[in-house]
């Protein structure tokens, strides 16, 4: 077996290399057969090679397709393989390269077709056809490096055939000219929008591929694409199928070939993976990984102690959407709703003295602050365009409608391209305005919380994700002193999957410390963080006492006795500890060195155990129960999507009755576990059930109460998710309906009230005002059963409604009981 000595993986072997190795081996022993084992699953034998393995790449048609995670490129290419494999004499091979990010990362599909069985390394190095489904990749990915001379290049471009050339980098222009590439453009995004497909460009680009590659006659190709559409979207209903058909029929009239000059006209520049302003680590390590060259990084570049710089998503600038949010300062009432719900922390609010505007760019938007008595204070809502996913949640959340044009709100979606450059300058200026002083902000309202700097930003979660707004809020409220133990799940993937992390730091370098443990032991992991923090605090207190004389009695007493409840008190303690650290650095004793290593714990730590329902209700439940029963000061945030979202929507014990999910395709008949009531049974656990889209104020209150409570706390947070099967822009509306139907009653159980001899069980949502059906049947996870098995759907829905009624009755009773009816606190 050879191959390992080349230090290459199977992906890096080209057919020519394989041939070279066999030629070399056969020089000495021409009659022998050889096997090359490249890694566990790929071997080449010289027997295959002689019999059927053609190394004549010209016999193959090789295509490379650069798409964006979740845009459907990979799915469409899988269909292409099936269509060609089933309808021609050609053999087909496909390989799909993508990472585990939720969406918005690059995907590369490698497709190869040929007249003989294909035994070739999966990755294509020389392609006849290259499709770029995302215009901004032309600046970030060296796609045309892989183009053969005379290859075809298909670009999804917001710029038409006349303008597009001037929008390309010099490097791309040069490759097109030198390789005599046949260049085509289509504005697939507009075609998709106009045919009702929203952002789904996959079918459009697939149709172009068939038209340009000539693998099948055009008519036959269109027929087969439509057949594949019917099969793929059967569950989504006839409307979606029709939309796809329309997109196919409209496509070819919108595809143009581009005539280009004989010389490059743009200034030549290399790919710009991250901005030149990015920190050294991001330039040297993160950007290399982002360019898919992580395996070339020397080990010496990787941090040796397992810690990793945070706040790196800000350098990605994924530009996933051509439509982005745009603010209308004249209409805006500055409520903060849009910033609150934005899943990607793209909307930031600041207020500042008007003198700041002296250096502002001309187009910088602002308005007088909407508060009496501050005539010199201005307000700006800044949108980070390149990070906006166009999910539309901000527009849905905005309460203000333009009376003249009711289709417009105080925030709307608009085309990005015309405003991008101006807004980049505005963002730069906005960042030069300091964040508002935390000790002067009213944390208790949605309006106030918008002014807190988010330390969780620009995550790669799906556009419109219902989990991330909770994390952003958490980071705003307690970010600087937050310790997070994150269970595996969507939140660990968009939260910390290499190369970037959305958990960030403020200007002083303070931010959440985050770590991901296993799926099954996250609660224990977080409990360990708490116990460690407590032990280190105790050590710090002892060293402080020991060094009382050197440090000064007053200083030590102030630190030890500091009250740390209000933000102003926390800020004061942070300052004291900062001064202490500076002093300790000048001292030369082992006690001072020890104290320096643990003194950060003197600022109250907030330890949060975070994960999905698969973790909390199922696989990590034993540990979670143990952590809650420990009585320790740990906070648990369950991002409840009612399925295992990260792995594609498997049923969990949180999955509701009558909903379908993987492993519950016939509809779930068992009841949803009531984790809230289980935790309440301990008596000393703070418990809340929240839904930010239904009642943002209650969510905010619950998070603050949970954090302030000196004991275990559990928050169950309704999280709408793509797994529920509807357009995410309706996520807030569905959250409202989940609450209004009684499926998701909002509640808080506060043991502090029990101690004060008050009823600790507070029901925060009104009596159900709509039927369960009115909520559930807007989601295909419920709806699909009415198509596949209507009788069973009906039976299960009736049963589910009964369970909802019963649950509500029990809750209502609890809400009206006396304090003495609940478990007393020891």
Ligand X SMILES: Cc1ncc(C[n+]2csc(CCOP(=O)(O)OP(=O)(O)O)c2C)c(N)n1
Sites for ligand X among residues 470-499 (CB under 6 A): 488-491
Instruction: Write the CB contacts of 634 (distance below 8 Å, at least 6 apart in sequence).
Output: 526, 527, 530, 607, 608, 609, 627, 628, 712, 713
12 contact partners, CB below 8 Å, separation of at least 6: 121, 123
Q: Pick the piece of the chain touching ligand SF4 (CB under 6 A) from 219-227, 342-350, 523-531, 659-667.
A: 342-350
Contact pick of 35, 589, 647, 669 for ligand X (by CB under 6 A): 647
Q: Is residue 357 within 8 Å of residue 344, measured between CB atoms?
A: no
- Residue linked to tokens 């057919």: 15
**Measured from the CB atom, is 116 or 193 closer to ligand SF4?**
193
Minimum distance, C-beta of residue 639 to ligand SF4, in the bound complex (Å): 7
* CA 317 – CA 321 distance, rounded (Å): 11
Rounded to a whole number of angstroms, the minimum distance from the CB of residue 660 to ligand X is 16
Structure tokens at 574: 């942070």
Distance CA 447, CA 436 (A): 14
**Minimum CB separation from ligand SF4 for residue 331, in Å?**
7
Query: What is the β-pairing status of strands 347-353 and 106-114?
Result: unpaired
Of residues 515-544, those binding ligand X (CB under 6 A): 519-520
Question: Among candidates 244, 158, 243, 252, which has minimal Cα distance to 207?
Answer: 252
Cβ within 8 Å of residue 51, ≥6 positions away: none
Binding site partner of 652, from ligand SF4, ligand X, none, Cβ cut-off 5-8 A by kind: ligand X
* Residue 725 contacts ligand X per CB under 6 A: no
Task: Render the burial of 114-143: b for 16+ CB within 10 Å, e for the rest.
Answer: beeebbbbbbbbbbbbbbbbbbebbbbbeb
Instruction: Please report whether residue 335 would count as binding ligand SF4 according to CB under 6 A.
Output: yes
Residue 31, helix vs strand vs coil: coil
Q: How far is the CB of 774 from ligand SF4 (least distance, A)?
A: 23
CB nearer ligand SF4, residue 224 or residue 380: 380
For residues 632 and 523, the answer to whether their CB atoms sit within 8 Å is: no
Member of 392, 655, 695, 786 binding ligand SF4 (CB under 6 A): 392
Nearer to ligand SF4, 94 or 731 (CB): 731
Per-residue buried b or exposed e for 458-469, using 16+ beta carbons within 10 Å of the residue's own CB = bbbbbbbbbbbb
Q: How far is the CB of 230 from ligand X (least distance, A)?
A: 30
Q: How far is the CB of 325 from ligand SF4 (least distance, A)?
A: 4
Kindly indicate which of the ranges 301-309, 321-329, 549-557, 707-715 contains the residues binding ligand SF4, using the contact rule CB under 6 A: 321-329
Asked whether position 639 contacts ligand X by CB under 6 A, the answer is: yes
Cα–Cα distance, 267 to 254 (Å, whole number): 29
Site for ligand SF4 in 89-108 (CB under 6 A): 102
Q: How far is the CB of 81 from ligand X (least distance, A)?
A: 27
- Residues 442, 707 contacting (CB under 8 angstroms): no
Smallest gap from Cβ 129 to ligand SF4, in A, equals 31
Residue 355 is classified by DSSP as G
CA distances from residue 816 to 745, 759, 825 in whole angstroms, order as listed? 15, 8, 19
For ligand SF4, give the closer residue by CB, 185 or 397. 397
Smallest separation (angstroms) from ligand SF4 to the CB of 637? 13
From the CB of 518, what's the least distance to ligand X, in Å? 6
Check the CA dihedral 450-452-453-458 and report its sign. negative
Query: Which tokens sit at 441?
Result: 């902000």
Q: Is the peptide bond before 499 cis (omega within 30 degrees of 0)?
A: yes
- Would you call 80 helix, strand, or coil by DSSP? helix
Question: In sequence order, what are the residues at sequence separation of 6 or more whose Cβ sits closer than 8 angstroms to the Cβ of residue 784?
Answer: 235, 660, 725
Can you tell me which of 462, 616, 638, 714 binds ligand SF4, judged by CB under 6 A? 462
- What is the DSSP code string of 77-103? HHHHHHHHHHHSS-EEEEEEE--S-SS
Q: Which of 616, 606, 762, 754 is nearest to 678 (CA)?
A: 616
Count of residues interacting with ligand X (CB under 6 A): 19
CB of residue 390 vs ligand SF4: minimum separation in angstroms?
5
CA–CA distances in Å: residue 324 to residues 164, 316, 350, 467: 21, 17, 20, 21
Is 646 near ligand X (CB under 6 A)?
yes
Residue 389 binding target from ligand SF4, ligand X, none, CB below 5 to 8 Å by type: ligand SF4
From candidates 344, 668, 689, 743, binder to ligand SF4 by CB under 6 A: 344
Q: Token match 């307690």: residue?
A: 478
336 binds ligand SF4 (CB under 6 A): yes
- The stretch among 39-47, 187-195, 458-466, 514-522 that binds ligand SF4 (CB under 6 A) is 458-466
Quick check: 220 and 207 in contact, CB under 8 A?
Answer: no
Quick one: CA torsion of 784, 789, 793, 795, rounded to 10 degrees?
-170
For residues 345 to 374, the per-residue mask of contacts with ligand SF4, x marking binding by CB under 6 A and - elsewhere, is -xx---------------------------
**Bridge partners of 93?**
112
- Residue 769 in contact with ligand X, rule: CB under 6 A: no
The 3-state DSSP class for residue 546 equals helix
String marking each residue 582-621 x if it binds ligand X according to CB under 6 A: -----------------------------xxxxx---x--
Write the interaction track for ligand SF4 spanning residues 478-517; mark x where CB under 6 A is met and - where it is not.
------------x---x-----------------------
| Cα dihedral 243, 249, 251, 253 in deg (nearest 10) | -140
Which of the ranges 129-137, 499-507, 695-703, 714-722 carries the binding residues for ligand SF4, by CB under 6 A? 714-722
Q: Which residues contact 565 (CB under 8 A, 6 or more apart)?
A: 708
Q: Supply the minimum distance, in Å, between the C-beta of residue 744 and ligand X.
A: 16
- Interstrand relation of 635-640 and 606-612 (parallel, antiparallel or unpaired): parallel
Q: Binding partner of residue 519 among ligand SF4, ligand X, none, CB under 5 to 8 Å per kind?
A: ligand X
- Residue of the chain from 213, 321, 334, 641 that contacts ligand X (CB under 6 A): 641
Looking at beta carbons only, is 137 or 644 nearer to ligand X? 644
Residues in contact with ligand X, shown as a per-residue x/- string from 133 to 172 under the rule CB under 6 A:
----------------------------------------
Q: Which of 36, 74, 176, 388 binds ligand SF4 (CB under 6 A)?
A: 388
Residues linked to residue 97 through DSSP beta bridges, in sequence order: 108
Least distance CB 462 / ligand SF4 (angstroms): 3
Question: Is 108 strand, coil or helix?
Answer: strand
3-state secondary structure of 655: coil
Residue 613 contact, options ligand X, ligand SF4, none, Cβ 5-8 Å cut-off depending on partner type = ligand X
> From residue 17, how far is each of 20, 96, 773 by CA, in Å?
5, 22, 61
With CB under 6 A as the contact rule, which of the stretches 56-64, 337-345, 652-660, 789-797 interacts with ligand SF4? 337-345
Binding mask 634-663 for ligand SF4 (x = CB under 6 A): -------x---x------------------
CA separation for the pair 744, 694 (Å, rounded): 10
Contact status: 394 vs ligand SF4 (CB under 6 A): yes
Tokens of 334: 């500055």
Least distance to ligand X, CB of residue 689, Å: 16
Of 339 and 610, which CB lies nearer to ligand X in the complex structure?
A: 610
Select the binding partner of residue 517 from ligand X, ligand SF4, none (C-beta < 5 to 8 A, by kind): none
The binding site for ligand SF4 (CB under 6 A) comprises 102, 324-325, 327, 332-338, 342, 344, 346-347, 381, 383, 388-394, 397-398, 400, 410-411, 461-462, 465, 467, 490, 494, 641, 645, 719, 721-723
The binding site for ligand X (CB under 6 A) comprises 488-491, 519-520, 611-615, 619, 639, 641, 644-647, 652
């Amino acid at each position: 077996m050879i191959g390992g000595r080349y230090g290459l993986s199977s992906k890096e072997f080209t057919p020519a290399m394989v041939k070279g190795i066999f030629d070399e081996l056969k020089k000495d022993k021409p009659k022998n057969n050889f096997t090359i084992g490249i890694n566990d699953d790929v071997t080449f034998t010289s027997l295959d090679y002689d019999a059927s393995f053609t190394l004549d790449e010209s016999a193959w048609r090789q295509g490379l397709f650069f798409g964006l995670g979740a845009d459907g490129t990979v799915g469409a290419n899988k269909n292409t393989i099936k269509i060609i494999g089933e309808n021609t004499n050609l053999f087909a091979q496909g390989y799909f390269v993508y990472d585990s990010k939720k969406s918005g990362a690059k995907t590369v599909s490698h497709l190869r077709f040929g007249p003989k069985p294909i035994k070739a390394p999966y990755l294509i190095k020389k392609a006849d056809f290259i499709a770029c489904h995302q215009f901004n990749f032309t600046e970030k990915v060296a796609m045309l490096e892989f183009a053969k001379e005379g290859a075809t290049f298909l670009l999804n471009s917001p710029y038409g055939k006349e303008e597009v050339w001037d929008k390309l980098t010099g490097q791309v222009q040069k490759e097109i000219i030198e390789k005599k590439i046949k260049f085509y453009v289509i504005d697939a995004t507009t075609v998709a929008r106009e045919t009702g497909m929203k952002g789904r460009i996959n079918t459009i680009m697939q149709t172009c591929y068939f038209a340009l590659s000539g693998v099948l006659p055009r008519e036959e190709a269109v027929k087969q694409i439509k057949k594949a559409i019917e099969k793929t979207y059967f569950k989504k209903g006839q409307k979606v199928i029709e939309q796809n058909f329309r997109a196919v029929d409209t496509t070819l009239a919108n595809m143009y070939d581009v005539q280009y000059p004989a010389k490059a006209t743009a200034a030549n520049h290399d790919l710009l993976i991250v901005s030149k302003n990015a920190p050294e680590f991001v330039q040297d390590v993160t950007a290399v990984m982002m360019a898919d060259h992580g395996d070339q990084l020397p080990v010496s570049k990787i941090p040796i102690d397992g810690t990793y710089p945070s706040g790196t998503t800000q350098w990605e600038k994924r530009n996933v959407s051509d439509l982005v949010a745009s603010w209308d300062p004249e209409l805006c009432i500055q409520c903060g709703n849009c910033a609150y719900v934005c899943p990607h922390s793209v909307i930031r609010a600041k207020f500042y003295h008007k003198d700041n505007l002296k250096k502002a760019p001309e187009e910088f938007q602002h308005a007088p602050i909407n508060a009496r008595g501050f005539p010199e204070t201005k307000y700006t809502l800044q949108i980070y365009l390149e990070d906006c996913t166009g999910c539309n949640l901000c527009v849905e959340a905005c309460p203000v409608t333009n009376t003249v044009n009711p289709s417009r709100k105080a925030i709307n979606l608009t085309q990005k391209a015309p405003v991008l450059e101006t807004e980049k300058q505005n963002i730069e200026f906005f960042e030069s305005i300091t964040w508002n002083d935390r000790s002067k902000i009213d944390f208790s309202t949605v309006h106030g919380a918008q002014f807190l700097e988010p330390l969780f930003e620009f995550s790669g979660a799906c556009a419109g994700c219902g989990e991330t707004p909770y994390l952003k809020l958490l980071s705003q409220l307690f970010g600087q002193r937050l310790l997070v133990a994150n269970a595996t799940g969507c939140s660990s993937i968009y939260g910390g999957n290499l190369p970037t992390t959305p958990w960030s730091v403020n200007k002083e370098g303070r931010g959440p410390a985050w770590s991901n443990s296993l799926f099954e032991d996250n609660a224990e992991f977080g409990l360990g963080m708490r116990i460690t923090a407590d032990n280190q605090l105790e050590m710090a207190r002892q060293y402080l006492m020991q060094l009382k004389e050197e440090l000064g009695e007053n200083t030590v007493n102030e630190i030890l006795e500091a009250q740390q409840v209000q933000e102003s008190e926390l800020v004061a303690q942070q300052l004291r500890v900062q001064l202490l650290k500076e002093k300790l650095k000048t001292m030369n004793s082992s006690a001072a060195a020890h104290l320096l290593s643990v003194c950060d714990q003197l600022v109250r730590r907030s330890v949060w155990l975070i994960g999905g329902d698969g973790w909390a209700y199922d696989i990590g439940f034993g540990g979670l129960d143990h952590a809650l029963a420990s009585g320790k000061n740990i906070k648990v945030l369950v991002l409840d999507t009612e399925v295992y979202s990260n792995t594609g929507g498997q049923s969990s014990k949180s999955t509701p009755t009558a909903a379908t999910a993987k492993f519950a395709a016939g509809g779930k008949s068992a009841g949803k576990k009531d984790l809230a009531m289980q935790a309440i049974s301990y008596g000393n656990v703070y418990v809340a059930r929240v839904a930010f889209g239904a009642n943002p104020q209650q969510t905010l209150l619950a998070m603050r109460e949970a954090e302030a409570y000196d004991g275990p706390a559990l928050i169950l947070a309704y999280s709408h998710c793509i797994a529920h099967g509807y357009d995410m822009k309706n996520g807030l509306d569905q959250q409202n309906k989940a609450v209004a139907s009684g499926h998701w009653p909002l509640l808080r159980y506060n043991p502090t009230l029990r101690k004060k001899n008050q009823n600790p069980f507070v029901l925060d949502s009104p009596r159900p005002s709509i039927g369960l059906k009115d909520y559930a049947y807007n989601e295909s996870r419920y709806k699909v059963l009415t198509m596949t098995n209507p009788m069973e759907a009906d039976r299960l829905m009736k049963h589910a409604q009964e369970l909802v009624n019963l649950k509500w009755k029990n809750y209502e009773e609890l809400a009206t009981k006396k304090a003495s009816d609940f478990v007393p606190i020891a």
